[in-house]
Chains A and B, each alone.
Chain A
Amino acid sequence: MCEHDAKANCFEYIDSQMPRVPLDLVVNGERVHEMIDPAMTLLDFLRVTLKLFGTKEGCREGECGACTLIMNGRPVTSCLILAVEAQGAEILTVEGLSKDGELSILQEEFIREDGLQCGFCTPGMLMSARALLDRNPNPTADEVKEAIAGNLCRCTGYKSIIDAILSAAKREREALRNG
């Protein structure tokens, strides 16, 4: 319920009407400069200000993981982070995973292993997976489970997601070896 004493649980962005502050950061390789509401979350900044709707909102309380993105190399739930905390940060969202119209290996493996059904958790799931593979190119199945434990999926039962991440890891290692 969205009662006045529970604003934190409101689903849409609520403008605090505080004086605007400058925000400079890099999103998917592009420099961004905006004057923003200092009370705005990073998720709202992406969806409301930048109109990047790939990052999803499932609970607005950090429990579902649908809003996961990578900030300075670490996966974060963007609904719990203020946009101003990302000052100077490098942000990677689902829109930044493919390059020049080519899907990344990770995205290809999600399709091939059918690591998605309704697709709503998929962007957040992909970002948790990307962050894992960036810090651990050869994870075990248990390490994959640990890495995506904060990303809820109600459709797949997770098995196909884990398979997709493991096979992407294998292909990425091979690609690295083959230069």
Chain B
Amino acid sequence: MDKREYKYIGKSPDRSEGLEKVTGRAVYVHDMELPGMLYAKALHSPFARAKIISIDTSAARALPGVKAVLTGEDAPYLVGLYMIDKRIIAKDIVRYQGEVVAAVAATDERIAEEAVSLIKVEYEILPSVQTIDEALEAKILVHEDINDLEYMKGVFFPQKDSNIASWNKTVRGDVEKAFEESYLVVENEMYLPAAAHTPLETHAAIAQADPYSDKLKIWSSAQSPFAVRQLMAKSFGIAEADIQVIIPYVGGGFGGKAGIHLEPLAALLSRACKGRPVKYAATREEEFNQLPTRAAMRGRIKTGVTKDGKIIALKVYYDWDSGAYADYGVNVGRTAIYSGAGAYEIPNVEIHSRTLYTNKVFSTAYRGFGHLETHWVIERQMDIVAQKLGMDPYEFRMKNILGPGKTTVSGEVITESTGSPSDCLKAVAEEINWTGYQREEEREIQKKRGKVRGKGLALLHKAPAMPAFTSTASIMQIDGDGKVKVMIGAIDIGQGANTVIRQMAAEVLDIPLENIEVVWESDTQKNPYDWQTVASKLTFMGGNAVIKAAEDMIRQMKEVAAQVFRCDASKLTHGDGYIYHVHHPHKRLSYGSLARGYSYENGNAIGGVIIGRGTYIADGLTNLDKDTGQGLPALVWTYGAHGVDLEVDLETGDVHILKVASAFDVGRVINKKLTEGQIMGGVLQGIGSALSEGLKFNAEGKLLNPTFTDYKIPTAKDMPDEIVPILIENPQADGPFGARGVGEHPMISIPSAIGNALYDALGINFYKLPLNPENIALEIAGTQAP
């Protein structure tokens, strides 16, 4: 391991934008007002699936102050990232309760609101697709035009005349033969409901259309300004350059603000209002009901093992209830075929992942991007198989764990540079003093006092889920006083991107952090391109781009300094804000003196403005083979593990978490404080998914809990007594300073670790989330019933 001491890497400087955020000066789209701004309100479908017979907007249009009323007729555009399947406003048919059927822009909210109430829609209610099985039966097609939808070819595989938006698969070895040869075959079915991101700031967008050209200006709470621009340009058939997307501070994203959301509707309204800016800020109910969620998922898993605990066969069907649209959801589903076997080496594998259309609010990216879901299935199954083998689940995992020289299910050979899942598992097992499952007698003794303790382990891995061509960039400029401005295309949504970028730039340039500013706010007209702020990729890809930009700047300064000192540039080095000669360190020039060209005493000048440029592309990735899933999907794997120690109340079913130990092989810690912040926050978000969260629908597909009153996310009183973050540093050879991303990983496998601990406590295996008191108490009652 590289033991080099860094000045800024691995330290814990405060986040760059802290001052703005603690003083109330940080401006979010919600806070913005523009001259002449209009306010948008939408009318939503009350039905999960219905034909729109007629829409009468005449009374709404007649209301003074109403500037535009739009229906699906006025928005003949399909939009989408991977499956281009989503209408900006429903036309002819509504596909989920909450879908926008009409929208109004008016001079104030009261008028917009009143106008919405005056729109009369006549529906013919149709039977809908509500379950995974109904979707697979395909008696009703959510998208009757599925055969004609445009999509990213070679990556996703929509099935003709079905509700399957994409069927991806991995086939490796001979799984059926291996099952025959297995000592033990274990089959299970697991399920988890859809979950909401609930950023504290709901989605908001302001759009201003130029009435004399195609130009559009957008202010949005989006995570990915360049994706908004690209998708909108494609949908509207205009040039990307005509669309400017500006991102002020963003009040949390978690994947829900990736892709494209309210921006096209606000843009159409602005265009209909002769270019007045239109603001559309989602209500909290719209955030639950209209805007996308994490998909519900069912996993049917079959594992074959040898007598000594080697997994030789795995067959899984992952079926994703993706709701009415799958524009982004198909890529969540795709992750299952290369990481849905967990961090294990398994020679014979068949994984099917089917992203399904149903008539429910649609799904999108959510922190972990499918991995919390697949790991709920895999990591629970690992424990259940261990139970049946009579093996310690820790030993069983270690026996099958990935590591150098081992091969993933998509055919990638792991190396030392990939990181170590076993280091992570070992660390958390030690931290919670894992000694194996307790014996039944020990459980019985505990049960007498009404509360039972249990411990559980779970492993995890995740790589960015992104197209093989994903790229990012950085631009750097230096001022006459030697201070540096850095521009990146990714967005700091609170994860601390700008702070770690600043540290990396400071390290390469060897100047104080205070002399570096990452320019805020982000603007597609000015900032260099970035694919999306997703996939825990910013530290890795953005970091590499920034390092290259800083090195580029140093190289340019050395070239000028070499002329001044009449030496070869290779004789020069840099440090503390100077370029200097390696042998004659007194021969030195400050960065500032080179920033805009070097001037001699007689006025002659050489060089020029120093601008550093760095780009980074995810090199070497391939699409996965359609039939076998083989290829290279992963730029960087981050491994992790959790150990949970909890106590469950036998009467109430209430779970009290005493300790969570979470270890991640981050390669190299860039900012310890911020990395631990990601872990603390991610673990609690995972606890929400495990213990309380889940969308509930009635039989007709109406969402029953679209408020914080009925959809409970963890509060300060729901924290574990202790969370112990453990940072493991096996550097990645092509990572920035060896680092890997870890933004999403902390919430993955938290539900599985808790489920496994509940087995240890109760001797009961749980197969469905959430593990709320009701579900746990019912199971306890079930096992205790005569």
Q: Which residues of A contact B (CB under 8 A)?
A: 1-4, 6-7, 9-15, 17, 47, 52-61, 63-64, 66, 93-95, 97-98, 103, 107, 110-112, 114, 116-123, 126, 144-146, 148-162
Contacts and interface: CB of A to CB of B under 8 A. Distances in A.
Given A145-B716, A149-B716, A118 B201 contact: yes
B18 interface: yes
23 contacts: A1-B283, A2-B113, A2-B286, A4-B116, A6-B285, A52-B24, A53-B31, A55-B24, A58-B202, A63-B709, A103-B19, A103-B23, A111-B19, A114-B674, A118-B249, A120-B201, A120-B251, A148-B716, A154-B197, A154-B252, A154-B713, A158-B719, A160-B677
Given A9-B283, A11-B202, A111-B19, A59 B707 contact: yes
Contacts of A93: 24
Of A61, A94, A158, most B-chain CB atoms within 10 Å: A158
B254 interface: yes
A114 B23 contact: no
Contact of A152 (B23, B116, B282, B708): B708
B174 interface: no
B680 interface: yes
A2 B494 contact: no
A15 B116 contact: no
A158 B200 contact: no
A95 B685 CA distance: 30
B294 interface: no
A12 B114 contact: no
Interface in B638-697: 673-674, 677, 680-685
A111 B681 contact: no
A116 B27 CA distance: 15
A61 B706 CA distance: 12
Given A117-B677, A159-B723, 18 more contacts: A3-B116, A9-B285, A10-B113, A13-B109, A14-B109, A57-B30, A58-B202, A61-B708, A107-B23, A111-B22, A119-B26, A121-B200, A150-B715, A152-B715, A154-B199, A157-B677, A157-B684, A161-B716
Contact of A119 (B109, B284, B494): B494
Contacts of B201: 56, 58, 118, 120
A110 B17 CA distance: 12
B285 A154 contact: no
Interface residues of B, number: 71
Contacts of B172: none
B98 interface: yes
Given A2-B113, A15-B110, A119-B251, A152 B200 contact: yes
B395 interface: no
Nearest to B287: A59
B293 interface: no
A158 B719 CA distance: 8
B17 A119 contact: yes
B15 A111 contact: yes
Instruction: Across the A-B interface, give the 8 residue pairs with the lowest CB-CB distance, nearest first.
Output: A54-B24, A4-B117, A120-B251, A118-B494, A119-B21, A117-B494, A63-B708, A157-B680
A118 B708 contact: no
Contacts of A55: 24
Nearest to A5: B117
Given A154-B252, A157-B680, A160-B680, A60 B284 contact: yes
A54 B252 contact: no
B595 to A, nearest CB: 30
Contacts of A152: 198, 200, 708, 713, 715
B386 to A, nearest CB: 30
B25 interface: yes
A64 B200 contact: yes
Contacts of A111: 14-15, 18-19, 22
Nearest to B687: A157
B271 interface: no
B22 A95 contact: no
A149 B715 contact: yes
Contacts of B252: 117-118, 120, 154-155
Nearest to A64: B708
A97 B30 CA distance: 22
A37 to B, nearest CB: 10
